[in-house]
Amino acid sequence: MPILEFKNVSKVYNNITKALTDISFSVYEGEFVSIIGPSGSGKSTILRCINRLVDVTQGSIIFDGHDINKADKKEIRQVRKKAGMIFQHYNLVDRLSVIENVLHGRLGYKSVMSGVIGHYTEEEKEKAFQILAMLGLTEQAYKRCDELSGGQKQRVGIARSLMQEPRLILCDEPIASLDPSSSKIIMDHLSDINETMKITCIANLHQVDVALKYAKRIIGITAGQIVYDGPPEKLTRSKIYEIYQSDEGELITDVK
């Protein structure tokens, strides 16, 4: 049984802008899927539909046994805590400490009040430290997030999502704001998480070569429609040009 299923999903913004048209695909446990496509093709809309940051217009999405469109508030919380998300601009609370940001990953598990006053158990804090150790951030634990470099911030983002004990991690352009060496560190961590912890990963990437290197499956979308879905080996050059609707030589391949 797939962990995530898109059935004929369409999304129209403000009744005019078509973001997604009739998208269908399934993702199985443990897969590392990369969604590629030009900017504005609907990549981030797909990710945001999965945790209902965006409501779909038509079709249905099944994640972890929940029909996301029919989920009520409580159920959405259940869905969200099982789907971690990391962002291009990290989206951390800059003025709080690294460890506080990591602990935010537990909010979905808490009662409203204990989340509001920021009460975490000792086990949760220890777990946060273990995750930070795994990502090489223990020394930064008490620093404020605005003191960190971009690569470190993104690792805090990963730590926050791992804190959720997710079944799925959604990565929205995780390396688009990073330099090549930090990008490699981030992608290696994501790859490790996928392989050793068996967490399913869906990553939007605009660098095709990164996608080819790390993903076990590529979904190419253009103007809100899937034009390729298959293993990286079978993605031909001409198919890539079709996805990016560009002429030969114009391809974005900035990270080796």
Contact footprint for another protein (CB under 8 A): 51, 53, 76-81, 83-85, 87, 89, 91-97, 99-100, 103-110, 112, 115-118, 120, 122, 125-127, 129-131, 133-134, 136, 138-139, 141-144, 157, 160-162, 164, 170, 192, 196-197
110 or 206: CB nearest another protein: 110
CA terminus-to-terminus distance, the chain: 35
Q: How far is the CB of 72 from another protein (least distance, A)?
A: 13
CA 44 to CA 49: how far, in whole Å? 9
For 151-171, give one letter per residue: b (16+ CB within 10 A) or e.
bbbbbbbbbbbbbbbbbbbbb
Q: How far is the CB of 117 from another protein (least distance, A)?
A: 7
Whether 69 and 54 have beta carbons less than 8 Å apart is answered as no
3-state secondary structure of 171: strand
141 or 227: CB nearest another protein: 141
Q: How far is the CB of 171 from another protein (least distance, A)?
A: 12
Q: How far is the CB of 240 from another protein (least distance, A)?
A: 30
21 or 140: CB nearest another protein: 140
Chain Cα centroid distance, residue 168: 8
150 or 232: CB nearest another protein: 150
Q: How far is the CB of 6 from another protein (least distance, A)?
A: 18
Annotate 201-234 with three-state secondary structure: EEEECCCHHHHHHHCCEEEEEECCEEEEEECHHH
